[in-house]
């Protein structure tokens, strides 16, 4: 592992530790500190990031084959985890699905891509990252809102679908994506002042989410059922990269640096957006916090493993 990636891991630990200390010493107020920070990220910073990303996408320049090599197997794994967890009620299946598939593609992923693959590899990585949250959060939001609509009580299929559609679209994740894509399709260009304001808000996502991990760790612990966290960690660190490797290499014939970039992106530890999602639906906050912390530590072992596999190919 490169020195740059190691320093990024240390910075993540430091930010999370700072959040833990702040929560334990009650610098952030009472027991609702985690909820307040999560809502701040979910309703202000994340929407700004998603709208700006969607509004600025250049669809004509996207490498569709490489994108398919990553997103097709990722969505298959996501739906498989969701299906396996359907025995649970409410938001549990979707929360475990996001924990098993949403990687830390920015805080750890960007420095790793830059260190391992240089500017060309980093360009591929950032292109995928630009769609990462848009795709996964939109799919998962639809799934969880459909489950919650069903759980609300017996109703007609039409009523359930209408409620799901409303709650999915009028949502702090999906609405800015839809608005940004419509703005993009209309040929709009963000005014410099608006773009600068959105960039300022979007830049807060990473530090706020890292502090939230520490606050949640102090508030909820790591959960009482380590087996469930172990399941999503195994999916994220082992199953996900294996699925991407198999589909990209043997399914689409991808090789060289593009293959290495998509596999290592799939091998990232659980991302902090999974915790924001869990906080939003008040489900498995402790388990998700534990999965983020443990998978980030375990990544120091699994990353060299996947690099060795890629070297053999």
What is the CB-side half-sphere exposure of residue 171 using CA atoms within 13 A? 24
What confidence category does residue 150 fall into, taking pLDDT thresholds of 50, 70 and 90? confident
What does the pLDDT read at residue 166?
Answer: 67
- CA-to-CA separations, 145 to 48, 80, 151, 280, 285, in angstroms, rounded: 22, 18, 10, 12, 18
Q: How many domains, in total, are found in the chain?
A: 1
Model confidence pLDDT, tens digit, residues 98-147 = 999 999 887 777 767 877 787 778 778 878 887 887 788 888 888 888 88
Report the C-alpha gap between 307 and 118 in whole angstroms. Answer: 15
Read off the pTM.
0.76
- CA-to-CA separations, 6 to 83, 203, 211, 295, in angstroms, rounded: 36, 22, 19, 15
Model confidence pLDDT, tens digit, residues 73-90 = 999 999 999 999 998 888
What does the pLDDT read at residue 24?
Answer: 85
CB of 111 within 8 A of CB of 4?
yes
Q: Angle CA(9)–CA(128)–CA(184) in degrees, nearest 5? A: 125
Scanning 152-189, the segments in alpha helix (DSSP H) are: 157-169, 174-185
Model confidence pLDDT, tens digit, residues 220-237 = 666 556 667 899 999 999
Using CA atoms of 82, 101, 288, 145 in order, give the dihedral in degrees to the nearest 10.
-50
* Domain that residue 108 falls in: 3-312
What does the pLDDT read at residue 175?
Answer: 79
For 22-66, the DSSP string reads HHHTTTT-STTHHHHHHHHIIIIIHHHHHHHHHHH--GGG--HHH
CA proximity to 12, closest of 85, 110, 96, 78: 110
Domain with 277 in it: what CATH number? 1.20.1530.20
The pLDDT mean for the chain works out to 83
- CA-to-CA separations, 36 to 25, 31, 199, in angstroms, rounded: 16, 10, 22
Query: Which letter does DSSP use for residue 249 in this model?
Result: I
Model confidence pLDDT, tens digit, residues 238-288 = 999 999 999 999 999 998 899 999 999 999 989 878 888 888 888 888 888
CB of 31 within 8 A of CB of 219?
yes
Is pLDDT at 70 greater than 70 in this prediction? yes
Model confidence pLDDT, tens digit, residues 176-226 = 877 888 898 888 889 999 999 998 998 887 788 778 778 877 776 665 566
Is pLDDT at 3 greater than 70 in this prediction? no
Terminal C-alpha separation, the chain: 19
What confidence category does residue 289 fall into, taking pLDDT thresholds of 50, 70 and 90? confident
Report the C-alpha gap between 24 and 18 in whole angstroms. Answer: 10
Model confidence pLDDT, tens digit, residues 10-67 = 777 788 788 889 888 888 877 677 778 878 877 888 788 878 877 887 777 778 899 9
């Amino acid at each position: 592992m490169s020195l740059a990636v190691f320093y990024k891991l240390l910075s993540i630990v430091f930010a999370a530790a700072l959040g833990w200390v702040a929560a334990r010493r009650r610098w952030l107020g009472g027991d609702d500190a985690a909820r307040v920070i999560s809502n701040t990220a979910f309703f202000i910073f994340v929407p700004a990031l998603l709208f700006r990303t969607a509004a600025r996408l250049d669809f004509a320049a996207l490498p569709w084959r490489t994108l398919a090599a990553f997103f097709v197997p990722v969505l298959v794994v996501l739906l498989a985890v969701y299906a396996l967890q359907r025995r649970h009620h409410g938001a549990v299946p979707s929360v475990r699905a996001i924990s098993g598939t949403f990687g830390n593609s920015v805080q750890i992923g960007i420095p790793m891509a830059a260190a391992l693959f240089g500017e060309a590899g980093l360009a591929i990585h950032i292109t995928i990252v630009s769609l990462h949250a848009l795709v996964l959060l939109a799919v998962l939001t639809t799934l969880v809102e459909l489950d919650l609509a069903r759980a609300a009580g017996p109703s007609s299929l039409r009523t359930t679908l209408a409620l799901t559609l409303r709650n999915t679209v009028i949502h702090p994740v999906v609405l800015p994506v839809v608005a940004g894509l419509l703005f993009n399709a209309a040929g709009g260009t963000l005014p410099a002042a608006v773009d600068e304001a959105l960039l300022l808000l979007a830049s807060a996502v990473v530090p706020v989410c890292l502090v939230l991990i520490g606050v949640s760790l102090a508030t909820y612990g790591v959960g009482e059922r380590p087996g469930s966290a172990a399941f999503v960690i195994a999916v994220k660190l082992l199953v996900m990269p294996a699925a991407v490797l198999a589909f990209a290499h043997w399914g689409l014939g991808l090789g060289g640096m593009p293959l290495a970039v998509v596999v290592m992106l799939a091998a990232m530890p659980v991302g902090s957006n999974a915790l924001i999602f869990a906080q939003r639906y008040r489900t498995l906050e402790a388990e998700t916090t534990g999965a983020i912390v443990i998978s980030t530590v375990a990544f120091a072992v699994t990353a060299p493993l996947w690099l060795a596999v890629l070297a053999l190919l």
